[in-house]
Amino acid sequence: MSDESVRTGDRGREREQGVTKEMVHSEAESGASRGIMFDQSGLTLIELMIVLVLSLVLMAAVYLTFQVQKKTGDVQQEVSALQQDVRAVLDIMAKDVKQAGCDPLMTGTPGLVAAQCQAGRISFTMDLNDDGDTADPDEQVTYVYGGTSLTRNGVELSNRVTTFGLTYFDANNAQIDPTTGGNPFLETTEAEDVRSVDITITMQSRKRDPDLNDFIRRTMTRHLRMRNLGV
């Protein structure tokens, strides 16, 4: 046998071995791929329970955060509405009180109605249409507080008033108190000396504060000069 024939035989055997190795390697890779593609074991029960617990914890945290934010928002809304209500009542009273005693024709008739002025009540007259009398609509105004209700000429302004007080002052800003024993109303001479009044009002919210289980309350005081008295 010649050397060339030997070399040719060796090359043939090497090619056969190479092909065999490639086939074995290819079959191994194919088996691994099939193992990955067809692995359908999924999650275990323990893994599912862990995922479920974590989801519940996350949902609970989101819910609690929402509840806190909602509660805070509701309380702030109640406080804002309450303060606006108190200011609205004071604004209505201030407009009337500043016109008490308006007497453009100088008849001397308008002014405080002494027998109806005390700590929880005030009444006064004014000539708004310059006709010389105080008999026209809204020319006599009376504010009365009782229970939780504050009324203007019998019309309720609010039913959520918890405290209401009027303090009368003279021209020297000295407080005027009823002097007659047992009579809470001002005497005529005392009413004639009044030049200003302090109005203090406390009102409560429509709804209870869920944290305190009580109503929210706000108190405001306004000092009003009765510019038409003593003119």
Of 169 and 29, more confident: 169
Residues 77 and 124 in one domain: yes
53 inside domain? no
Residues 149-171: what's their mean pLDDT? 96
- H or E element, residue 37: helix 3-37
In a shared domain, residues 73 and 187: yes
Number of independent structural domains in the chain: 2
> What was the pLDDT predicted at 34?
53
The residue among 152, 145, 162 whose CA lies nearest residue 205 is: 162
Span 84-89, average pLDDT: 97
Q: Considering only 36-40, 84-88, 152-156, 204-208, which range has the smallest mean pLDDT?
A: 36-40
Select, from the ranges 6-20, 172-186, 216-230, the one with the highest average predicted confidence (pLDDT).
216-230
pLDDT at residue 74, rounded to an integer: 82
Whole-number Cα distances in Å, 118 to 14, 47, 59, 149, 172: 124, 77, 59, 16, 20
**Same domain (yes/no): 120, 179:** yes
- Is 10 or 143 the better-scoring residue by pLDDT? 143
Residue 165 phi, psi dihedral angles, 5° rounding: -150, 145
Domain identity same for 14 and 97: no
23 lies in the same domain as 100: no
For residues 85 and 194, membership in a common domain is answered with: yes
**pLDDT tens digits, 9-31:** 555 565 555 545 555 455 555 55
CA 200 to the chain's CA centroid = 22
Examine the domain organization and report whether 84 and 195 are in the same domain: yes
Does 100 map to a domain? yes
Mean pLDDT of 203-216: 90
Q: Does the pLDDT at position 126 exceed 50?
A: yes
Least confident of 60-64, 91-95, 176-180: 176-180
> Per-residue pLDDT averaged across 164-190, rounded?
88
63 and 16 in a common domain: no
Is residue 85 within 8 Å of 219, Cβ to Cβ?
A: no
Q: Is residue 49 part of a domain?
A: no
Q: In this structure, are 216 and 131 located in the same domain?
A: yes
Confidence of residue 161 (pLDDT cuts 50, 70, 90): very high
pTM above 0.75, yes or no: no
Indicate whether 155 belongs to any domain.
Answer: yes
Whether the per-residue pLDDT at 123 is higher than 90: the answer is yes
Instruction: Let me know if residue 62 belongs to a domain.
Output: yes
> At 6, is the pLDDT very low, low, confident or very high (cuts 50, 70, 90)?
very low
Answer yes or no: do 18 and 116 share one domain. no
Q: What is the span of the domain harbouring residue 2?
A: 1-30
> Does one domain contain both 21 and 65?
no
Q: Which helix (H) or strand (E) holds 184?
A: none
Mode of pairing for the β-strands spanning 140-146 and 121-125: antiparallel
Report the range out of 8-12, 26-30, 36-40, 142-146 with the highest average pLDDT.
Answer: 142-146
Residues 62 and 26 placed together within one structural domain of the fold: no
